[in-house]
């Protein structure tokens, strides 16, 4: 998984950008799209970074210019490949604290969900500790090279549900269509493989924390497999296997998911299987999608809430709003890798001292439920990081257009790979007063093994062989 330092440095020299002014405030609907012109693509590595972000900082200087990404030098004591990530910014202090006394002064840079959190919980101490912004995402040189090629060759077909003409990389670094932005997120670069022992909790309306899952998760990304010359876009983007160890009622269950890399058209989307101890057999699990309540967090979020958004976008009409500067959790190394979940849980929200917030530029995309389609969410909004194409935050609305749930990813790039990382994510339910955190690694529980798992490990036969009988 490790890229050589020469490749990373070359990538740092080939990034830069300024894109917001052209698109800010534009409304663009989902349709078929084609690659940009060679003249537009030539901006990559010049005024745009290779990933398509603006190279320049903002006018106030609170977002710095892009300097190549990554963390350089690596933190003292860090062992590359260990999976134990030392916080490279541990000595920093907040440059700004936003609380109940001043949050309205900063509304322009708050997501709708964050504003709702202040409205509901500001009196009880909800706050943002805002730290200096670090544009720390980076990717290997081969990923950058493929992304540059994709700018002119990749296109969307089948009402945005399929990509053609792309190599493994960011398919649309200069997007003009909402589905281009969402595909950039849906097949974002998170490395080639990883595994984690993790805990998932929810906190009920009375403030009581409940362990909903203790498990081990294995992730592999076949379309980015170095053993296949970095794969093919026709490969699956992700293989996910979760072995549930607790609580006792779920111990022994196994979930297996195969996620597509370029095609959500009928018959080409997600495949999922479950091993259930009581039945002692593997069954297809087509319900592991869309608005089915996710039992991994006791039904307090849906399957497609995972990682802020995942899965097929087919049930919605999508609109690209433009770009915005927002405060979002970012570079949350201490939160993700060092702290126990139970120590960070407050009555209605995470204890603010444990969450690092930074100011970053994002693409804003909205979705409205299509006529004739069913989903418990009528409207959705997502905030996609311009540097990594990771969904950092989101909101969903109920059938009466009332803001229902607020999502955050706790982003902490893997600086030795280098790659993004949003394995830990959570949801605040504003109607039930419940919140949750999912797939948060236990301290020392995140690993990047030298060898990837055999493909049989991620097969229905593989989970059948290892299931408890």
CB 47 within 8 A of CB 17: yes
Q: Which residue has the tokens 């909790």?
A: 201
Query: Is 57 a member of any domain?
Result: yes
Residue 363 has pLDDT above 80, yes or no: yes
Does 467 score more than 70 pLDDT?
Answer: no
The tens digit of pLDDT for each residue in 128-185 reads 999 999 999 999 999 999 999 999 999 999 999 999 999 999 999 999 999 999 999 9
Long-range contact list for 42-46, CB < 8 A, 24+ apart?
43/17, 43/174, 44/14, 44/17, 44/147, 44/148, 44/151, 44/173, 44/174, 45/14, 45/15, 45/16, 45/148, 46/16, 46/17
Phi then psi for 83, rounded to 5 degrees? Answer: 80, -5
In the chain, the number of structural domains is 1
Specify the range with the lowest mean pLDDT, choosing from 19-33, 145-159, 172-186, 414-428. 19-33
Indicate whether 84 belongs to any domain: no
Q: Which CATH number fits the domain that encloses residue 348?
A: 2.50.20.10
Q: How far apart are CA 323 and CA 63, in angstroms?
A: 14
> Residue 114 in contact with residue 128, Cβ under 8 Å?
yes
Stretch 377-387: mean pLDDT, rounded? 98
In a domain, 78, yes or no: no
Omega cis (within 30) before 456: no
Q: Which residues contact 429 (CB under 8 A, 6 or more apart)?
A: 300, 404, 405, 435
Interval 433-456 mean pLDDT:
95
Residue 21 has pLDDT above 50, yes or no: no
Query: How far apart are the C-alpha atoms of 166 and 346, rounded to whole Å?
Result: 45
Is the pLDDT confidence value at 241 over 70? yes
The tens digit of pLDDT for each residue in 46-102 reads 999 999 999 999 999 999 999 999 999 999 999 987 888 999 999 999 999 999 999
- Name which of 463, 382, 387, 458 is nearest 425 in CA terms: 382
Residue 283 pLDDT: 96
pLDDT level of residue 7 (50, 70, 90 thresholds): very low
φ, ψ for residue 82, nearest 5 deg: -75, -30
> What average pLDDT does the segment 415-433 reach?
97
Instruction: Give the structural domain span for 292.
Output: 5-73+94-466
Specify the pTM: 0.92
Judge contact between 68 and 11, C-beta under 8 A: yes
Of 146-155, 229-238, 317-326, which gets the smallest average pLDDT? 229-238
- Position 226 scores a pLDDT of 73
pLDDT band of 225, cuts 50, 70, 90? confident
Long-range contacts, 81-86 (Cβ 8 Å, 24+)? 81/1, 81/2, 81/416, 81/448, 81/450, 82/448, 83/194, 83/446, 83/447, 83/448, 84/337, 84/444, 84/446, 85/333, 85/336, 85/337, 85/412, 85/414, 85/415, 85/446, 86/333
**Coil, strand or helix at 208:** coil
* 25 closest CA partner among 317, 361, 320, 316: 320
In a domain, 322, yes or no: yes
pLDDT above 90 as % of the chain: 86
Query: Quick one: 100 exposed, middle or buried, by C-beta within 10 A (0-12, 13-18, 19+)?
Result: middle
Q: How much is the average pLDDT of 452-464?
A: 93
Beta bridge partners of residue 364, listed in sequence order: 322, 383
Rounded CA gap, 283 and 185, in Å?
29
> Is residue 87, in this structure, part of any structural domain at all?
no
Q: What is the mean pLDDT of residues 407-414?
A: 98
Amino acid 405: pLDDT = 98
Residue 426 lies in a domain: yes
What is the pLDDT confidence band of residue 231, given thresholds at 50, 70 and 90? Answer: low
Whether 146 is in a domain gets the answer yes
Is 88 within a domain? no
Higher pLDDT, 251 or 8: 251
In this prediction, residue 28 carries a pLDDT of 40
* DSSP sequence for 88-141: TTTT---SEEE-TTTGGGGGGGS-HHHHHHHHHHGGGT--EEEPPP-------H
Confidence band, pLDDT 50/70/90 cuts, at residue 4: very low
Rounded to the nearest integer, the mean pLDDT of the chain is: 92
Mean pLDDT of 338-359: 98
Tell me if 325 sits within 8 A of 360, measured CB to CB: yes
């Amino acid at each position: 998984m490790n890229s050589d330092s020469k490749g990373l440095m070359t990538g740092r020299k080939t990034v830069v950008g300024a894109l917001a002014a052209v698109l800010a405030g534009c409304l663009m609907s989902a349709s078929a799209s084609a690659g940009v012109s060679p003249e537009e693509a030539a901006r990559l590595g010049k005024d745009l970074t290779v990933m398509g972000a603006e190279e320049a900082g903002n006018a106030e200087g609170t977002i710095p210019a892009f300097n190549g990404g990554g963390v350089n030098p690596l933190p003292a004591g860090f062992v590359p490949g260990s999976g134990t990530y030392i916080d490279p910014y541990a000595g920093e202090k907040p440059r700004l604290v936003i609380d109940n006394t001043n949050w309205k002064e900063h509304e322009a840079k708050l997501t709708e969900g964050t504003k709702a959190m202040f409205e509901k919980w500001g009196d009880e101490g909800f706050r943002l500790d805002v730290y200096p912004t670090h544009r720390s995402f980076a990717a290997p040189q081969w990923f950058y090279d493929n992304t540059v090629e994709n700018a002119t060759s990749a296109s969307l077909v089948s009402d945005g549900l399929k990509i053609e003409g792309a190599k493994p990389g960011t398919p649309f670094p200069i997007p003009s269509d909402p589905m281009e932005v969402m595909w950039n997120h849906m097949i974002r670069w998170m490395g080639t493989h990883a595994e984690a022992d993790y805990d998932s909790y929810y906190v009920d309306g009375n403030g009581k924390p409940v362990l909903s899952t203790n498990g081990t998760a294995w992730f592999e990304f076949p379309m980015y497999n170095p053993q296949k010359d970095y794969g093919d876009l026709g490969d699956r983007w992700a293989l996910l296997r979760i072995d549930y160890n607790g609580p006792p009622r779920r111990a022994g269950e196994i979930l297996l998911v195969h996620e597509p890399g370029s095609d959500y058209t009928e018959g080409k989307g997600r495949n999922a299987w479950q091993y259930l101890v009581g039945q002692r057999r593997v069954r297809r699990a087509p319900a592991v999608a869309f608005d089915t309540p996710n039992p991994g967090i006791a039904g307090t979020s849906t399957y497609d809430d995972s990682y802020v958004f995942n899965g097929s976008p087919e049930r919605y009409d999508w609109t690209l709003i433009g770009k915005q500067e927002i405060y979002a959790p970012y570079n949350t190394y201490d939160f993700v890798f060092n702290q126990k979940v139970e120590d960070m849980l407050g009555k209605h929200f995470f204890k603010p001292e444990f969450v690092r917030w930074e100011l970053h530029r994002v693409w804003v995309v909205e979705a409205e439920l299509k006529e004739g389609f069913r989903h418990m969410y009528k409207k959705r909004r997502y905030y996609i990081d311009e540097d990594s194409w990771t969904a950092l935050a989101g909101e969903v609305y109920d059938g009466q257009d009332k803001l229902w749930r607020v999502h955050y990813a706790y982003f902490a790039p893997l600086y030795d790979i280098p790659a993004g990382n949003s394995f830990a994510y959570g949801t605040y339910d504003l109607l039930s007063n419940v919140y949750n955190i999912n797939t948060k690694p236990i301290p020392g529980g995140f690993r990047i093994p030298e060898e990837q798992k055999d493909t049989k490990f991620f097969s229905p036969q593989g989970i059948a062989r290892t299931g408890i009988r």
